[in-house]
Copies of this chain bind each other. A is one copy, B any other.
Amino acid sequence: MSQQYSSALLENAVNEFAKLPGIGRKTALRLVLHLLRQEEEEVENFGNTIIRLRKEIKYCRVCHNISDREICSLCEDTSRDDKVICVVENIKEVMVVENTHQFKGRYHVLGGVISPMDGIGPADLEIDSLVSRVASGEIKEVILALSATMEGDTTNFYIYRKLAPYNVNISIIARGVSVGDELEYTDEVTLGRSIVNRIPFNETFKN
């Protein structure tokens, strides 16, 4: 649907919103018309918050997570376990793992996974800095928590090889039947993996 806007200001704002992922021109127009109905001060605040975000955001020097300071709050938190590092793809996955409340160690954000199709090689990721952290000798375990895709698996194996010279346990998060899923509808590969990686039933009482 081509729209005739009677205002260039309106058109510019719609264009900007329509650049966002998952926002079409119709939704963009709806959002812009909503903003027009808000107080000027509120809209100014909205715009400035976005500008400040991009301008002032930092990435933690240690784990590369998003942060307001040089070192992020997760790396600074003295109550967390220094000996375990959970390796994740992006800052989004830090939040996802944090929301499980099952991990109280440190993180390491790779910034992606190895994906030759997208031209992303090991050098584009924060793998060297992970090796440096492990080389410091404090780390006892590295948990690989990447996506269960071919790219994730490739990256897991690459990191595994890079860390082989060091005295560190490397583990990988379990792949298996999703909690709540019916076996009938679980794909064969996942089901097969969950059988191979079965654990003693009494261990499930622990959590």
Task: Provide the residues of chain B in CB contact with A65, threshold 8 Å.
Answer: 6
Task: Provide the residues of chain B in CB contact with A74, threshold 8 Å.
Answer: 6
Q: Is the CB of A72 within 8 A of B6?
A: yes
Determine if A113 is an interface residue (Cβ-Cβ < 8 Å).
Answer: no
Q: Is the CB of A20 within 8 A of B16?
A: no
In the complex, which of the residues B6, B67, B95 contacts A67, with contact meaning CB atoms closer than 8 Å? B6
In the complex, which of the residues B19, B21, B33, B51 contacts A48, with contact meaning CB atoms closer than 8 Å? B51
Task: Provide the residues of chain B in CB contact with A10, threshold 8 Å.
Answer: 53, 57, 66
A95-B30 contact in complex given A48-B47, A49-B16, A50-B47, C-beta closer than 8 Å: no
Interface size on A, residues (CB 8 A): 59
Q: How far is the CB of A103 from chain B (nearest CB, A)?
A: 12
Q: Is the CB of A53 within 8 A of B72?
A: no
Task: Provide the residues of chain B in CB contact with A60, threshold 8 Å.
Answer: 6
Q: Is the CB of B6 within 8 A of A73?
A: yes
Task: Provide the residues of chain B in CB contact with A54, threshold 8 Å.
Answer: 35-36, 38, 40, 43-44
Determine if A55 is an interface residue (Cβ-Cβ < 8 Å).
Answer: yes
Given contacts A21-B31, A32-B53, A46-B50, could you give 19 more A-B pairs where the C-beta distance is less than 8 Å? A3-B95, A6-B60, A6-B72, A6-B73, A6-B91, A6-B94, A7-B57, A7-B66, A7-B68, A9-B53, A16-B45, A16-B46, A16-B50, A20-B34, A33-B92, A35-B54, A36-B57, A38-B54, A50-B50
Q: Could you show 6 A-B contacts with beta carbons less than 8 Å apart?
A: A6-B73, A9-B52, A10-B57, A32-B53, A33-B91, A44-B51
